[in-house]
Structure 1
Amino acid sequence: MSFFQPQVSKAQQKHKADPAHQPWVEKYRPKTIDDVSAQEHTVAVLRKTLTSTNLPHMLFYGPPGTGKTSTILALARQLFGPDNFRARVLELNASDERGITIVREKIKNFARQTPRAQVVSSDGKTHPCPPYKIIILDEADSMTQDAQGALRRIMETYARITRFCLVCNYVTRIIEPLASRCSKFRFKPLDPTSTSSRLAQIATAENVPVTDDVITALISTSHGDLRRSITYLQSASRLSMSTSPPTPVTASDIQEIAGVVPDAVINDFAATLGVEILSSDEMKVDGIRAKGFDDVRQKVKDIVRQGYSASQILSQLHDLVIEHPTLTARQKSRCALVFAEADKALCDGADEELWILEVGLRVHKALAS
């Protein structure tokens, strides 16, 4: 073996996973910033960084599963290449290592190290390899106030050789002196078009036949969280392959995996309360308009026996009522007050069956008046 060949350590061999056994969220994680879905503004700004190699401290914030960590990791790989990545990038999850001790020891020690000279990349590509390191603090909103206070001084002291990227869900939990030192990038929940194209691409690569109904179910159950929708798709494909012969993935499979109450159950319950269910080719609703307390109570008992979560039932019933095209604004507002009261009661630990019954009766009364 030539001495000039890059040697792979035992640790690297150990952690090199077989792609067939990887979770799809890791297998299809963006390798470059151009692969990042839907965050056009952020990608456009960071693409300039690859040409100028001048990177500010950054603060990425937004809902889970929108590509925050994937974006900074892809950028770091493009900047430093596979050989320099480990030496130049420190990734910490601040929800685990969030105290002031970690900031004073681990982060400070890494930040003060002078980066080594550029090494020829083993992948045959030329990487900018700018003269600084990157420290990625994931879940930075979980850091204590003292830790955030200590971090701001380190950011100033070692700004010449170290850049920080703070990743968080709630930007309001980052102290103002820290936030003002960073360029802010807001990551939006993924729009249905971007999500559907990415899911279709993954399904094609994995040879999983999916219909438009399955994609729609994945989008509606994940609420803009691409990571969650990819996980649901992988779970559904495993479920379909477990049967003999394998069955195609259906929208009801996705709802079952996501813990969502099937549309037929919600529509049946809503029809019992007097909500007019618009005709659908897929959904046959046999719900009968309730005539009194006993009818609603029996329907609630049937639903509770199936083991669905009360908060999930009321959330989906709320969406159905509020988005209903034929109900009046007064009826919707009365129902919304009921749902709000029920949500508060359930958060306080109230009995689930009683509150489903309470909501059912009061919605029935609001629609009847």
Structure 2
Amino acid sequence: MAKASAPMEIDDASLPSSTTDKGKSLFASDPKSAPWVEKYRPQSLADVAAHRDIIDTIDRLTSENRLPHLLLYGPPGTGKTSTILAVARKLYGAQYKNMILELNASDDRGIDVVRQQIQNFASARSLSFGTKSTVKLVLLDEADAMTKDAQFALRRVIEKHTKSTRFALICNHVNKIIPALQSRCTRFRFAPLDSSNIRERLEHVIKAEGLDVDQGGLTSLVRLSNGDMRKALNILQSTHMSSQHINEEAVYLCTGNPMPKDIEQIAYWLLNESFKSAFNYISDVKMRKGLALVDIVREVTMFVFKIKMPPTIRVKLINDLADIEYRLSFACNDKLQLGSLISTFTNARCALVAAV
């Protein structure tokens, strides 16, 4: 069979013999039952919610057949994988599944995966299916979970097959990617999404699903997402499954997060009550509402920014709260850490009185 010519300026033709189903699913078997994260995943670069400067740059490179190896990094749920899949659809059209090798490096993180699956895919000859490009694409999600040996092996594969294959690495922590790989890729940082972008996308999903969501519920969804679109959609879907009317209370009950009014009350106790009273009050609220102390500490930390106090006292208080949250992440005793939380605010109260 004659070898197909590649439309990209610097590449020769090549074609995969097979792909893998590992990693994020490219197709939902039943769109009606699919998680909304997948159901409403952007299908084109124009649909990606934010980062228009990055998206426009990648779109132009794709249109001009000059797509480089890519390294997309940033927090979860900011559109990294959606962007690469949209690029694949633009390059290959309906046949994009045949032209992609998609791996999740948190599962396939060793050197054998690079030497076998990736090497075999990149070196296989490919046939033209009438796609816009015959250059294959390797999508490696959570690449920062790869071992150092696997990353060095991947560097050699990229050098050897750069004419026939493009590599897209996705990660949360770019500092865990070896410099040799970083230098071979064009890097783009995906920052947490702006609240307006998340609100706009949520409104689209709410309208499409015909949901009953009031403004308080929508604001709560945006607030709890912390710039993570995936988290926002998952909370929305989970809340819808437990309540037909989605309001602020329903969202917080579904997620188990303390409501803002509860945090205000807890902050009042911490700033005004005695150690014993504050300990009893907070313990009672935790028990009745099923709250986790780590969530309380995290929300109280954010509340501290709203309180008027000298900068030096605020910094000290926030650092102490961060230490408590860190200890709780290692499953330290809740009662001891609650006592530490109250003591921290007691010290801050004394510092505030002395500063007056």
Given the two structures, how large is their TM-score scaled by the length of structure 1? 0.83
Q: Please give the alpha-carbon distance, in whole angstroms, between the structure 2 residues aligned to 1:35 and 1:337.
A: 40
1:93 corresponds in structure 2 to: 104
- 1:250 has 2:273 as partner: no
Matches within 5 A, 1:126-205: 129-205=132-208
Q: Please, which of 251, 263, 266 is the counterpart of residue 266 of structure 1?
A: 263
1:47 corresponds in structure 2 to: 59
Distance 1:317 1:43, change over 3 A: same
Number of matched residues? 325
Q: Please, which of 280, 292, 297 is the counterpart of residue 314 of structure 1?
A: 297
1:286 corresponds in structure 2 to: none
Contact residue 235 and residue 255 of structure 2 kept, 8 A: yes
2:115 corresponds in structure 1 to: 104
- Compute the displacement of 1:139 (Å): 0.7
SS in structure 2 opposite 1:184? strand
Listed one character per residue, the Cα deviations across residues 203-232 of structure 1 (whole Å, up to 9, x for unaligned) are: 000001222222211111111000110111
Contact residue 91 and residue 133 of structure 2 kept, 8 A: yes
Q: Please give the alpha-carbon distance, in whole angstroms, between the structure 1 residues aligned to 2:256 and 2:29.
A: 30
- Compute the displacement of 1:196 (Å): 0.4
SS in structure 2 opposite 1:92? strand
- Compute the displacement of 1:258 (Å): 2.3
SS in structure 1 opposite 2:212? coil
- 1:20 has 2:32 as partner: yes
Q: Please give the alpha-carbon distance, in whole angstroms, between the structure 1 residues aligned to 2:138 and 2:175.
A: 21
- 1:351 has 2:354 as partner: no
Contact residue 28 and residue 39 of structure 2 kept, 8 A: no
- 1:301 has 2:319 as partner: no
- Compute the displacement of 1:186 (Å): 0.8
- Compute the displacement of 1:365 (Å): 4.0
Q: Does 230-239 or 354-363 show the bigger shift?
A: 354-363
Q: Does 54-63 or 334-343 show the bigger shift?
A: 334-343
Q: Please give the alpha-carbon distance, in whole angstroms, between the structure 1 residues aligned to 2:63 and 2:152.
A: 33
- Compute the displacement of 1:16 (Å): 5.7
Listed one character per residue, the Cα deviations across residues 76-109 of structure 1 (whole Å, up to 9, x for unaligned) are: 0111011x22321110111111111111111101
Give the share of equivalent positions with the same residue, in percent.
Answer: 35
Distance 1:90 1:348, change over 3 A: closer
Given the two structures, how large is their TM-score scaled by the length of structure 2? 0.86
Distance 1:51 1:333, change over 3 A: closer
SS in structure 2 opposite 1:271? helix
Q: Please give the alpha-carbon distance, in whole angstroms, between the structure 1 residues aligned to 2:316 and 2:159.
A: 54
- Compute the displacement of 1:270 (Å): 1.1
Distance 1:37 1:366, change over 3 A: same
- Compute the displacement of 1:328 (Å): 3.1
Q: Please give the alpha-carbon distance, in whole angstroms, between the structure 2 residues aligned to 1:228 and 1:16.
A: 19
Question: Structure 1, unaligned stretches of length 5 or more?
Answer: 1-11, 120-126, 242-247, 275-288
Q: Give, as a single letter, the amino acid of the residue that structure 1 aligns with 2:125.
A: T
- Compute the displacement of 1:190 (Å): 0.5
